[in-house]
Structure 1
């Protein structure tokens, strides 16, 4: 006879005085207290999956390792990182096209959301690289957050620091009707220290540990802004830290963005002490995202073959063509640097500036590239075929989520 599994600890509450920092209507003036949610300490909390969940966790890890051994360790890695940055920003209602992102990379500020996506990608990479080097700690987390919010006109001064004010999610100008009121700021340092102790454990399945760590992080909400994007990067960081991957980052956000409402419901249920369904959904996100990414890798390989068969078989065309295996965006600075390296190796001859002009012109005529900036310096181009495959990846993920919604009772 199997023993019943112990429940995951639910959040507690604490009441604190509250007064708005700005004048408002009667509701604002009459709100005198805030009831905040206080997560439990989980450094030593016990959780184990049932048989079906354990099998699902193992299948997700198998899919992730297949991605890591195949496409994730090669050119697909950079493309998935870009795609994940776009998806994690869309969960926060930041939206931009590939062309917007390309312009943001060369300093064009026409679309604020695109700049947010670029910085989100940098933050994800920064945290995951540190975790891979054995540093999944407070220093790495704060450094990633600092990179995420650098230059933000409102929250930039608070980047890389835990909050010192009470925050809340939803509910308008007061916390009274908020969807979630995180713990008071004085609780944050100790709760984060407990979370890092939880991350140091190696007795949990890596995918389950990543799922629980993310939910706990979002419950603490340690920053004034950027909590969602930093917390989702934490999932990939945990998996890298535990050795589940060497270079691949699972496109978890690409799956979660397809069902935002369900994602947020899971975080609410976690605060009530329900963790199993959330762990299962993260396992599905890791496995399904990895499987679809492998398909994308195969399709992008066909795109690369078609490109090589037209104008990118050799010389400077091949140099820039290989760059498009790793990103749908090509910037002038990056292209010139690649050509300079090729000249130094003796692979091509001429000057980087001259080769750039002639090669880009050829690639645009062939439809391999399309310009997205009109200025004469610090230009950017996108590869339409690569961008289309990444859009198709997002659509396949969305369709898969919808199909699953019809097959099972969510």
Structure 2
């Protein structure tokens, strides 16, 4: 496909690229905590688009290995899948079918229904909307299973081209992926992960994952309508929406990067821990690993025994961490500000999408 940016969207395309570049530059040299935070933000929003939702606290518990909330566990799996695709694209400089399959395996392996098919292209017909038993009345019926392999190969060739505008490539590759609908479940989340993977492969984002899905979540119905328009041959509505979502998400993301970067110093000021103390040692540990149990804290921080509990109590009293299980044994603590920022960033993006 010969892809050009429509004349009326050239300005929006340039604004989006500038915003993405500025956000990525802001993240240069920042800690691993920031990259993990942005991946989690994008994955949570992408899950919510599919009506897979859980509270921030349940998400934190799932990060710690609590399997009581299936939606939260699914969000954690989406985080792993997104990281898999983006890192592979950056490392190899290519999008590979094997990476897409691996990401789907990460996403769906623990799903009660789809688990046996995780990481495999579908071998049966599926459809969107209508009845569970028949495609009659469906909103959309994807290609038959025997065409999926060839179509995905074609899509990957498109995603690996360097002669077309990057954001148009990401938007159209995503729309084509959703139209092929190559898996029984998880298509939306893997398809949106493809956007981040293409941005990383093309070098637009080298240090971050931009939470574009948060912008799409704020305009969920417009997003689904734009995918329908794509299937009818109109590509501009989806491209315009993704350009807007990219710009808003990048601008809001820069604010979160600045806020998060200041957390360690803020926490140290709140705790007033002397240099070299157990409490001081835990601050950078929770910045890089925001959800941990006692064993993890001791392993990462090198603090042992009663000193661990004393330090955790001090951080909890200062509001730096919160205990999220409510149990007397096998407790888990989470960095309060990092959890809150997940919601704050999502809200900031939603507000920005409403303004434009």
Q: TM-score normalized by structure 2?
A: 0.93
Question: Is 1:144 matched with 2:103?
Answer: yes
Please name the residue that 2:65 is paired with.
Answer: 107
Please name the residue that 2:2 is paired with.
Answer: 46
Q: Is the 8 A contact 2:3 2:168 kept in 1?
A: no
- Offset of 1:101 from its aligned partner? 1.2
SS class of match (2:333)? strand
- Offset of 1:213 from its aligned partner? 0.4
- Offset of 1:301 from its aligned partner? 3.6
Q: Is the 8 A contact 2:285 2:301 kept in 1?
A: no
Please name the residue that 1:155 is paired with.
Answer: 114
CA distance in 1, matches of 2:161, 2:103: 22
- Offset of 1:400 from its aligned partner? 1.5
Please name the residue that 2:284 is paired with.
Answer: 322
CA distance in 1, matches of 2:139, 2:106: 28
Question: Is 1:96 matched with 2:48?
Answer: no
Q: Is the 8 A contact 2:64 2:292 kept in 1?
A: no
Q: How many residues align?
A: 350
CA distance in 1, matches of 2:10, 2:113: 43
Question: Is 1:390 matched with 2:342?
Answer: yes
Q: Is the 8 A contact 1:370 1:382 kept in 2?
A: yes
**Which among 310, 328, 351 is matched to residue 358 of structure 1?**
310
Question: Is 1:374 matched with 2:326?
Answer: yes
**Which among 31, 41, 55 is matched to residue 11 of structure 2?**
55
Please name the residue that 2:224 is paired with.
Answer: 264
CA RMSD of aligned residues (A): 1.8
Please name the residue that 1:283 is paired with.
Answer: 243
Please name the residue that 1:222 is paired with.
Answer: 182
Most deviating of 279-288 and 268-277: 279-288
Q: Is the 8 A contact 1:324 1:386 kept in 2?
A: no
CA distance in 2, matches of 1:205, 1:61: 10
Distance 1:52-1:378 versus aligned 2 partners, 3 A rule:
farther
Q: Is the 8 A contact 2:271 2:315 kept in 1?
A: yes
Q: Is the 8 A contact 1:73 1:248 kept in 2?
A: no
Question: Is 1:202 matched with 2:162?
Answer: yes
Please name the residue that 2:85 is paired with.
Answer: 127
**Which among 253, 256, 273 is matched to residue 293 of structure 1?**
253
Within 5 A, what are the aligned runs for 1:389-408? 389-404=341-356
- Offset of 1:70 from its aligned partner? 1.2
CA distance in 2, matches of 1:104, 1:188: 33
Q: 1:379-400: per-residue Cα shift (whole Å, max 9, x none)?
A: 3222223322332211111112
Please name the residue that 1:84 is paired with.
Answer: 42
- Offset of 1:264 from its aligned partner? 0.4
Distance 1:164-1:371 versus aligned 2 partners, 3 A rule:
same
CA distance in 1, matches of 2:23, 2:84: 21
Q: 1:42-64: per-residue Cα shift (whole Å, max 9, x none)?
A: xxx11211334223222211211
Q: 1:161-186: per-residue Cα shift (whole Å, max 9, x none)?
A: 00001001110232111111111101
SS class of match (2:58)? helix
- Offset of 1:300 from its aligned partner? 2.8
Q: TM-score normalized by structure 1?
A: 0.81
Larger radius of gyration: 1
- Offset of 1:272 from its aligned partner? 0.6
**Which among 339, 359, 371 is matched to residue 301 of structure 2?**
339
SS class of match (2:219)? helix
Most deviating of 46-55 and 325-334: 325-334
CA distance in 2, matches of 1:160, 1:170: 23
Gaps spanning 5+ residues in structure 1: where? 1-44, 341-350, 405-410
SS class of match (1:133)? helix
Please name the residue that 1:346 is paired with.
Answer: none
Q: Is the 8 A contact 2:19 2:247 kept in 1?
A: yes
